[in-house]
Amino acid sequence: MSKNITKRSEDYSKWYNELVVKADLAENSGVRGCMVIKPYGYAIWEKMQAELDRMFKETGHQNAYFPLFIPKSYFSKEASHVDGFAKECAVVTHYRLKTAEDGKTIEVDPEAKLEEELIVRPTSETIIWDTYRKWIESYRDLPILVNQWANVVRWEMRTRLFLRTAEFLWQEGHTAHATEKEAIAEAEQMLNVYADFAENFMAIPVVKGFKTANERFAGAVETYCIEALMQDGKALQAGTSHFLGQNFAKAFDVKFTSQEGKQEHVWATSWGVSTRLMGALIMTHSDDNGLVLPPNLAPIQVVIVPIHKTDEQLEAIREEVKKITDRFKKLNISFKFDDRTSFKPGWKFAEYELKGVPVRLAVGPKDLENGTFEVARRDTLTKETISKEGIVEYIQDLLEEIQATLFKKAFDYREAHITEVNSFDEFKEVLEGKGGFISAHWDGTTETEEKIKDLTKATIRCIPIDRVEEDGVCVLTGKPSKGRVLFAKAY
Amino acid sequence: MSKNITKRSEDYSKWYNELVVKADLAENSGVRGCMVIKPYGYAIWEKMQAELDRMFKETGHQNAYFPLFIPKSYFSKEASHVDGFAKECAVVTHYRLKTAEDGKTIEVDPEAKLEEELIVRPTSETIIWDTYRKWIESYRDLPILVNQWANVVRWEMRTRLFLRTAEFLWQEGHTAHATEKEAIAEAEQMLNVYADFAENFMAIPVVKGFKTANERFAGAVETYCIEALMQDGKALQAGTSHFLGQNFAKAFDVKFTSQEGKQEHVWATSWGVSTRLMGALIMTHSDDNGLVLPPNLAPIQVVIVPIHKTDEQLEAIREEVKKITDRFKKLNISFKFDDRTSFKPGWKFAEYELKGVPVRLAVGPKDLENGTFEVARRDTLTKETISKEGIVEYIQDLLEEIQATLFKKAFDYREAHITEVNSFDEFKEVLEGKGGFISAHWDGTTETEEKIKDLTKATIRCIPIDRVEEDGVCVLTGKPSKGRVLFAKAY
C-alpha cells in the first residue's frame, strides 16, 4: 500500500506526525501553529464531546458562552494568573483594515486602534469571574455550575498536531460555591468524571493525582490531574481540575450574603480537557499499520466491504448486508457499507485499517453460498469466518471485547512501566531505559524538582491521590520524604 | 411581580432588550459588543444546533474545524470579499504581553510583533479555500460537503444582544463541487433546509428569495436567503446560502482533473445561520408577559409546580408527579419538577411565564383528591383542569398544538403584512403605517434600490423565488419591471 507510515520503533515522533495526517485526522494550516481538524478527526472529537457533555449534565452542569476576548486590564487582576499566561497571548490591537495608498495593498488602519488591547482568551477565568460578580448576591444564587465549549489560543513556539497547538478546542468548567468544602468536592468530582471518561470511553488507564506547586495552574490553590502513559514511555496530562480557593473572587470582588447574613467571598473551581485528548487517544492504542480506535469513540464501528465481480453479485451482497445493517441501526452500532466501485477491496482494507475502524466485515460470492461473513478485528489484526446467523450478536459482543482488550493492553503496559527506584542512579537508568513513570521519594521542594528536571528532563507528573504514606529519603537530596511521587518525561 | 417588562406597544425595542436580560437569555459583557450567552439562552441555542446538525448530516455533510485566524494576505485574495469585510475586522498584531518598567502594569511586548497580522475570522471562505487546494486533485475528491460550528467576529459599532454583536456563534457550510449545476443545487438545498428548520422548529414562516446584487454576500455570484417578519413589522434575514461560482477557487487556485482529464476550477457554495436566530425566535412569538417558546425548541417543555403547605402534602404530590414524569421520560418530553421550598408558587408561575415554558402543570391537595392537574398554556395564557388519567397523552397533543398554533399565528401576521403597492406614495404610507413587507415593482438597478433606501430606510429584502412574472413599472422611477420584489425596514 502507498499509505505506509514510519514504524514506531524507528521514529515514534515521526510515526505520530505521519499517522495524524495520513489517517485524515488533522493537518497544519497556513496559520502558524493552528491546525485544521479534518472531518474524520472531528467526528472522533464530536463523540468525545457528546459523552463528556452528557456526563457534565448528569452531574448538574449547564453550558453557557462567554466572550472570546478579554480586556488586558481584567487579565492582570489575578497576579499569578497573568504571570502564567502573559508570554503566550495573542493580542488584538486594531479593529479595521483599509486599502493602502497604492490602491491595492490591504493594511491595518492606524486610526482604528483600540483604547484597550484585547487578549484572545487562553482560558476564561477572568472574564467569567467578572460576569459572576453580576450573577451572585446571596447564597441562594449558589452554586453556579457552568461549562463552556470553546476555542482558546496560547501562542506556542513549537507546535504539534493535537498535542500543542496555538489554537485548540476545549471545554472549561467554571463553578462558584458558598463553601470551601463544596468547591473541593466539585473539583474532585470532575476529576473522577475525567478519569471515568478516559478509562471507559478512551480505554486509557490514568493515575489520579495532585500537581506540585510548580506545576499548578496559574491562579489555583490545588490542581488535580489525570496522567496517562504513551507507548514511548512518556506521560501525557489528560485533564486537570482546579480548586481556585477565593483567588478569583477576591480579584473580581465577588461576594455573597451567607445564610447567616454575612458577606463572604465565593469559592471557585475550574476544570478542562482539550483536543489534546485526541493525541492521547492516538498514541495509546495505534500501531505501525495505522490508527486503532476504541469502539466507544469510533465514528464508524463496523465497515462492510463487498467483494464482487459482477453487478449481480453486488446486488445479492447488498441484500444480505441490509439484513444485518437494519439490526445495527436498532442497536446503535455505527457502520459504513462501502460499495464504491472506484476502489478495489484491497485498497479499502488498507484504508480502514489505517483509519482504525474496529471491525471489518467482508462478504463475497463464496460467503453468500456458505451463509458467512469474514470478520476482521483491527486491534489484533485477526480474522474469522462467522455464520450470518447470530452475527449481529457476535459483533455486538466483539465491540465490547475490543474495548476491554484495548484498555487491558494499555493498563498492562502502564503497570509494567511504573518503576519504584531508590537512588538517583537507578532513576536515570530507568528513565533512559524503559521510561514510563518512576515512583520515587522527593523532599517536597520546588528547588529539588527543578534540579531533577534540569538533570533528566523528567518532571513530577503528580502526587498520586491514593499514595501510601511511607517514610523515605529524597532520591536526589537524601532529605526526608513521606511518600513517593511519580516522575516522567512528558508531552 | 417584580419582573415586569416594558410593553411592546410602548417601546418594542426596549421590550426586546429587557426581555433578553430578564428571561436569562444573554447579557452584555465587559467587552465592547460581545455578549454572554447565559445557560437558559444557551440551552435554546443547543436545541437549535442539535436539529440543524442532524439536518446537515442527513444531507451528507460532515463537520470539521478551521483556524480562528486568517493571515491578512489570504483575506485580500478575493477582491470583493475583502472590500466587504475590511471595515469590521479585529486584528491580532502581537503575541506576547510583558510587565512594564514600573514592575506592575502589563503591556503589549513591542518585540513580539507578528510579521504578518492575523484577522480574527469574520467568515472562513479564505482559510477554507486555501485548505481545499490541498484536498482536491481529481473529480474523485469531489464533492466536499463540510460544515463548521464556530465563533466569528465582525466589529460592529452599534450592537444589540443576539441581533448584532461583535462576536457571534454560527455554523458555516463550505462545499466544493465539480459542476456549476451541482453547486447551485447544493445552495438551493441548504436554503430549503433552513426554511424547513425555521418553519417546523422555530415556528417562523419565511419567504425564500434571492438577494439583489447590492445585498449579496461579498464574493458570491448569487445569495439566497430566508426572510422573516417580526411583530413590529420589521424584517429579519434568518439565513443565507451562497452560490460562489468559481470566485474562491480562482483566488486560491483550486483546480481538479475532470473525468475527461481536463484541469478545471472548482465550484463553491457557503451557507450560514447564527445566534441571530435567537433574536428572531424571541421577537416572533414573545409577548408582554415574557418569552414564548415553541415546544420543539424549549429546553423545558413542561414545568410542574407543587402547591402545598405541609411536607406530607409535598410527599403525596411528589408521588403523583413521578407517575407522569416517568412517562414523560419515555416520550422524550422535557420537564422540570420545581419543588424548591425557597420560592412561592406565585413566584414560580411568573418565573416560568417569563421564561416561556410552553406548558405549566400545577397540583395541590385538592387536585390530589379529585385526581386532576391544572394545565396552563403559555401561548394563550389559558388554564384547564385535566384528569390525571390520560394527562400524558393530553400534554403530548397539547405540545404539538402549541407548536402549530404559534406557527399559524406568525403566519397569519406575516400574510396580513405583505402589501402590494403600485405607487411610491402608497409605498411610504404602508411603510410608515402598518409596516411589514411591501411588494412592489422595481426597475432592477442598484441606483433605484439605494435611492429608495435613502428616502425610506426600506431595503429590498429579497426577490421571492416563487414570484410571478408580471409586467409593471418601478414604483420610484416608472421604468419597466418584470415582477415584484419585497421591500421592508429590516434588522
CATH number of A302-398, picked from 3.40.50.300, 3.40.630.30, 3.30.530.20, 3.40.50.800? 3.40.50.800
Closest residue of A to B70, CA-based? Answer: A31
Quote the minimal CA–CA distance from B427 to chain A in Å.
Answer: 37
Q: CA nearest A115 in B: which residue?
A: B32
Q: What is the pLDDT of residues B243-254, one digit of tens each?
A: 999 999 999 999
What's the confidence (pLDDT) of residue B278?
98
Instruction: Please judge whether A106 and B99 are an interchain contact, meaning their C-beta atoms are less than 8 angstroms apart.
Output: no
Three-state secondary structure string covering chain B: CCCCCCCCCCCHHHHHHHHHHHCCCEEECCCCCCEEECHHHHHHHHHHHHHHHHHHHHCCCEECECCCEEEHHHHCCCHHHHHHHHHHCCEEEECCEEECCCCCCEEECCCCEEEEEEEECCCCHHHHHHHHHHHCCEHHHCCEEEEEEEEEECCCCCCECCCECCEEEEEEEEEEECCHHHHHHHHHHHHHHHHHHHHHCCCCCCEEEECCHHHCCCCCCEEEEEEEECCCCCEEEEEEEEEEECHHHHHCCCEEECCCCCEEECEEEEEEEECHHHHHHHHHHCECCECCCCHHHCCCCEEEEECCCCHHHHHHHHHHHHHHHHHHHHCCCCEEECCCCCCCHHHHHHHHHHCCCCEEEEECHHHHHHCEEEEEECCCCCEEEEECCCHHHHHHHHHHHHHHHHHHHHHHHHHHCEEECCCHHHHHHHHHCCCCEEEEECCCCHHHHHHHHHHHCCEEEEEECCCCCCCEECCCCCCEECCEEEEECEC
Count A/B contacts: CB-CB distance under 8 Å. 190
* Closest CA in chain A for residue B41: A64
Confidence of residue B184 (pLDDT cuts 50, 70, 90): very high
Res. A174 pLDDT band, cuts 50 70 90 = very high
Identify the CATH assignment for A12-71+124-285 out of 3.30.930.10, 3.40.50.1820, 3.30.2020.30, 3.50.50.60.
3.30.930.10
Nearest to A29 among B37, B94, B127 (CB): B127
Choose the mutation target among B91, B105, B136, B138 for the interface with A, i.e. most A CBs under 10 Å: B91
Strand partners, B265: B255
Residue-level pLDDT at A163? 97
CA of A182: how far to CAs of A265, B362, B418, in Å? 14, 33, 58
Residues found in chain A: 491
What are the residue ranges spanned by the domains of chain A?
Answer: 12-71+124-285, 302-398, 418-488
- Whether residue B167 and residue A119 make contact (CB cut-off 8 A), yes or no, is no
Mutation target to probe the B interface, by most B beta carbons within 10 A, among A21, A48, A80, A106 is A106
SS3 A145: strand
At B128, phi and psi to the nearest 5? -75, -40
Chain A: give the shortest CA distance to residue B36, in Å: 5
pLDDT tops 50 at residue B2: no
Residue A298, pLDDT score: 98
Residue pair B475/B222 in contact by the 8 Å Cβ criterion: no
Count Cβ neighbours within 10 Å for each residue of B143-161 and write b for 16 or more, e otherwise: bbbbbbbbbbbbbbeebbb
Total residue length of chain B: 491
Q: Taking each helix axis from N to C terminus, what angle separates A391-416 and A311-330, rounded to the nearest 10 degrees?
A: 70
Residues of chain A found within 8 Å of residue B342, distances taken between Cβ atoms: 140
CATH architecture of B12-69+121-285: 2-Layer Sandwich (3.30)
Find, in chain A, the residue whose alpha carbon is nearest to that of B154: A95
What pLDDT score was predicted for residue A177?
98
- Among the residue ranges A75-79, A442-446, B299-303, B340-344, the one predicted with the least confidence is A75-79
Q: What is the mean pLDDT of residues B258-269?
A: 97
pLDDT digits (tens, 9 = 90+) for B361-382: 999 999 999 999 999 999 999 9
| pLDDT tens-place string over residues B425-477 | 999 999 999 999 999 999 999 999 999 999 999 999 999 999 999 999 999 99
Q: Is A86's CB within 8 Å of B97's CB? A: yes
User: CA-to-CA distance for B10 and B23, rounded, in angstroms?
Assistant: 19
What is residue B75's predicted lDDT score, i.e. its pLDDT?
Answer: 87
**AA identity, residue B448:** T
Give the nearest chain B residue to A38 (CA atoms): B64
Q: What is the mean pLDDT of residues A137-142?
A: 95
Q: Judge whether residue A100 has pLDDT over 70.
A: yes
Which residue in A has a C-alpha nearest to residue B39's C-alpha? A64
A contacts of B347 (beta carbons < 8 Å): none
Look at residue B215 in the predicted model and tell me its pLDDT: 92
**B98 contacts A86? CB cut-off 8 A:** yes
Residue B4's pLDDT band, with cuts at 50, 70 and 90, is confident
Gap from B372 CA to chain A (nearest CA, Å):
31
Residues A419-473: tens digit of each pLDDT: 999 999 999 999 999 999 999 999 999 999 999 999 999 999 999 999 999 999 9
Instruction: Tell me the chain A residues in contact with residue B25 when contact means C-beta distances shorter than 8 Å.
Output: none
8 Å CB contact of B64 and A42: yes
Structure confidence at residue B3 (pLDDT): 62
**Residue B152 with chain A: CB contacts under 8 Å:** none
Kindly list the residues from chain B whose CB atom is less than 8 angstroms away from the CB atom of residue A93. Answer: 91-94, 108
- Mutation pick from A95, A133, A157 vs chain B, by most beta carbons of B within 10 Å, is A95
Measured torsion, CA atoms of residues B458, B461, B463, B469, in degrees rounded to the nearest 10? -40
CB contact under 8 A, A106 and B38: no
Give the separation between CA B48 and CA A464, rounded to whole angstroms: 42
* Cell numbers representing residue B299 in the block: 429546553
Provide mean pLDDT across the span B320-324. 97
Question: What local confidence, expressed as pLDDT, does residue B12 receive?
Answer: 97
Tell me whether residues B36 and A66 touch, CB distance under 8 A: yes
Residues of B in contact with A43 (CB under 8 A): 62-63
pLDDT in tens, A200-220: 999 999 999 999 999 999 999
How high is the ipTM of this complex? 0.96
Q: Which residues of B touch A155 (CB under 8 A)?
A: 95-96
Q: Which residues contact B48 (CB under 8 A, 6 or more apart)?
A: B197, B201, B202, B277, B278, B297
CA–CA distance, A35 with A169 (Å, rounded to integer): 11
Instruction: Give the closest-approach CA distance of B426 to chain A in angstroms.
Output: 41
Which of A30, A46, A119 lies closest to B130 in CB terms?
Answer: A30
> What is the structure's pLDDT at B263?
98
Band of residue B79 on the pLDDT scale cut at 50, 70, 90 = confident
Q: Give CA torsion, residues B195, B358, B392, B201, to 10 deg.
A: 10
At residue B83, does pLDDT exceed 90? no
DSSP string spanning A52-73?
HHHHHHHTT-EE-B--SEEEHH
Flag if B97 and A82 touch (Cβ within 8 Å).
Answer: yes
- What is the second-level CATH architecture of the domain B300-400? 3-Layer(aba) Sandwich (3.40)
Question: Is B167's CB within 8 Å of A68's CB?
Answer: yes
Give the list of residues 6+ apart from residue A324 with CB closer than 8 angstroms, or none: A388, A391, A392
- Interchain proximity A155–B95, CB inside 8 Å: yes
Query: How large is the greatest C-alpha to C-alpha distance in chain B, in angstroms?
Result: 82
Residue numbers in A near B150 (CB within 8 A): 151
What pLDDT, on the 0 to 100 scale, is given for residue B292? 98
Averaged pLDDT score across all residues of chain B: 96
**pLDDT tier for residue A82 given thresholds of 50, 70 and 90:** confident
CATH architecture for the domain at A418-488? 2-Layer Sandwich (3.30)
Q: What is each CA distance from B83 to A281, B86, B248, in whole angstroms?
A: 43, 6, 14
Residues in B touching A45 (Cβ below 8 Å): 65
Contacts of B86 in chain A (CB under 8 A): 96-99, 106
Q: Is the pLDDT of residue B133 over 70?
A: yes
Please list every residue in chain A whose beta carbon sits closer than 8 Å to the beta carbon of residue B157: none
Least CA distance to B299: which residue of chain A?
A62
Please, are residues A168 and A218 in contact by the beta-carbon 8 Å criterion? no
Instruction: Give the distance from residue A63's alpha carbon to the nearest chain B alpha carbon, in angstroms.
Output: 6
C-alpha B357/C-alpha B379 separation (Å) is 9
Q: Is A106 in Cβ contact with B75 (below 8 Å)?
A: yes
**For the segment A184-196, what is each residue's pLDDT rounded down to a tens digit?**
999 999 999 999 9
- % of chain B at pLDDT higher than 70: 99
